[in-house]
Structure 1
Amino acid sequence: MGWYRIARSLIEPWVQFFRMIPPLAVIPLAIVTLGIDESPKIFVIFLASFLSSVVATYQGVISVDRTLINAARVLGAKDATIFARVIVPASVPFILVGVRIGLGSAWATVVAAELIAAQSGLGYRMQQAQLYYDLPTIFVSLVTIGILGLFMDRLLQAADRRLTQWQERA
């Protein structure tokens, strides 16, 4: 999308359009079209995390230093080589930020989706605990969500450090 101008003009408005629709608003449509099992949850979580990530990735691609691209062209590199050896590596920090943002969106969406329409999961457990004023279960569920989210974020940070060792850090 960020590499080819025509793809950008065709795809970017649609990405922005769907990004503005809250993922939770899609749940009724997802249930009607995909059924009541896990498929609607997976679809809504994917939608939330993908749309959050794609914007950061797009920004990374368009932010690549033109000097690097021009230098690769002068050395005889074709578009595919430039994309694989210049654009993608230079975009990795942005991509990983997008993945971290997408992870947060995914967690928020999965819990909310389970609160609304699920028969299992932490959100469902919290919903059931609310009916009986079971505060300990609610707190344990919240702490569990926080710990799991923090653990996953730390894994992504470790991947970021490993994949972007070449980058200067402040």
Structure 2
Amino acid sequence: MLMGIGELPKVFVIFLAAFLACVISTYQGVVGVDKTLINAARVLGAKDGRIFARVVVPASTPFILVGMRVGLGSAWATLVAAELLAAQAGLGYRMQQAQLYYDLATIFVDIIAIGILGLVMDRLLLLAETKLTGWQERR
């Protein structure tokens, strides 16, 4: 209500959906950094900034990328919901309009498009995760 009825509230809700998942996952990654690695860097003379850049960020990268994938899913679902409720364009809006005229073909095509776009975005993040965390042991 504070932001009005334009696009800003929708963008803010989508941002919150993605941001919170990313922050929580990143926090878990930073907290879980092995203290031995930090102590080894200190013994070798590294200062706090260098430890953060060379030890904490690389060790947290898998968690950050998982948070981004979860955030992407949340943002995508929130985007479609926001379009279904109050939008003048987008796949959700098209589905809402097709519902009024019982146009099942359009609804199914939009659902498939939403699924394909979500899958492509997720696979792109998975590819980035594979490239950025190639050093990580896979199970």
Per the normalisation by structure 2, the TM-score is 0.95
**How big is the alpha-carbon RMSD for the aligned residues of Structure 1 and Structure 2?**
1.0
Once residues 118 and 34 of structure 1 are traced to their aligned partners in structure 2, the CA distance between those partners, rounded to angstroms, is: 16
Cα distance in 1 for residues equivalent to 2:99 and 2:111: 13
Shift of 1:35: 3.7
**Matched ranges for 1:102-141 at <5 A:** 102-141=71-110
Distance in 1 (alpha carbons) for counterparts of 2:121 and 2:9? 23
Query: Distance between the aligned counterparts of 1:37 and 1:57, measured in 2?
Result: 31
- CA–CA distance in 2 between the matches of 1:122 and 1:102? 20
Quote the Cα distance in structure 2 between the aligned partners of 1:133 and 1:52.
36
Mean Cα displacement is larger for which, 75-84 or 156-165? 75-84
Tell me whether 43-52 or 96-105 shows the greater mean CA deviation: 43-52
What is aligned with 1:53? 22
Stretches of structure 2 that go unaligned for 5 or more consecutive residues are: none
**What stretches of structure 1 of length at least 5 have no aligned partner?**
1-28
Between 39-48 and 145-154, report the one with greater CA deviation: 39-48
Identify which of structures 1 and 2 has the higher relative contact order when contacts are C-alpha pairs closer than 8 Å and 6+ apart. Answer: 2
Normalising by structure 1, report the TM-score. Answer: 0.79
Which SS does the other structure have where 2:29 is aligned? Answer: helix
The match for 2:114 is 145
What's the % identity of the aligned pairs? 74
- Answer yes or no: is 1:169 the counterpart of 2:138: yes
Please state whether the residue corresponding to 2:102 is helix, strand or coil. coil
* Match in the other structure for 1:94: 63
For residue 43 of structure 1, report the CA deviation from its aligned partner.
1.2
Matches within 5 A, 1:32-71: 33-71=2-40
Q: Secondary structure of the equivalent of 2:92?
A: helix
When the two structures are aligned, how many residues end up with a matched partner?
A: 139
